[in-house]
Amino acid sequence: MQVRARRRSSSRALVRARTPTRLAGCLLLLLAVGCARNLRSEGGGEEGEASWYGPGLYGRKTASGEVLRPGTMTAAHRTLPFGTCLRVTNLENGRVAEVRVNDRGPYAAGRIVDVSESAARTLGMHGKGVTRVRLERCTGRTEVEGEPGEPRVARVWIQEVGEGG
């Protein structure tokens, strides 16, 4: 009788010892899976719906602590680090803008990014409100360049795509 009791208690101790290891392994796996969806500078990037924000939010602090000002080329993304440079391509007209992530969002279902009003104008989506876009990290860097102590604004260009390419 004593032998059985010892076996049960030792097997329970073994199960208790394995539980924290299994829990840690599961948490590590979930963390790895969550981080695996990050955007790459090469490859297709992420595609989905984009919306824009602006005038009603000017003067308010973003999630990064930066004050939103008119004319800035910024964006809100759910997971990318603040300061990340994103190349946003409007899939309907081919226009491109580089923006810097300085806020969290969007919070509307099905959207992958919110861009500032200036970026929306550059992308040709200002009057439309919501547009299909492709997001890619800017090639060669993770942040938009700027002078220390000065507001950092992304480079912008419009790329028109005509017939045949």
In the chain, where does DSSP find H-type helix? 2-35, 117-123
Query: 154 burial class (0-12, 13-18, 19+ CB within 10 angstroms)?
Result: buried
Give the model's pLDDT for residue 50.
Answer: 97
Answer with the residue of higher pLDDT: 31 or 104.
104
User: What gap in Å lies between CA 7 and CA 139, rounded to an integer?
Assistant: 61
The 10s digit of each residue's pLDDT in 118-164 is 999 999 998 888 999 999 999 865 454 444 444 444 444 444 555 55
Task: Give the length of the chain.
Answer: 165
The 10s digit of each residue's pLDDT in 75-106 is 999 999 999 999 999 999 999 999 999 999 99
Facing residues of 27 across strands?
none
Check: CB of residue 133 under 8 Å from CB of residue 44: no
Q: What angle do CA 34, 38, 39 make, to 5 degrees?
A: 160
Domain segments of the chain as ranges: 1-36, 46-137
The 10s digit of each residue's pLDDT in 39-57 is 444 445 899 999 999 888 9
3-state helix, strand, coil in the chain (%, to 5): 25, 25, 45
Q: What is the pTM of this model?
A: 0.62
Which CATH fold topology does 46-137 show?
A: Barwin-like endoglucanases (2.40.40)
Amino acid at 57: L
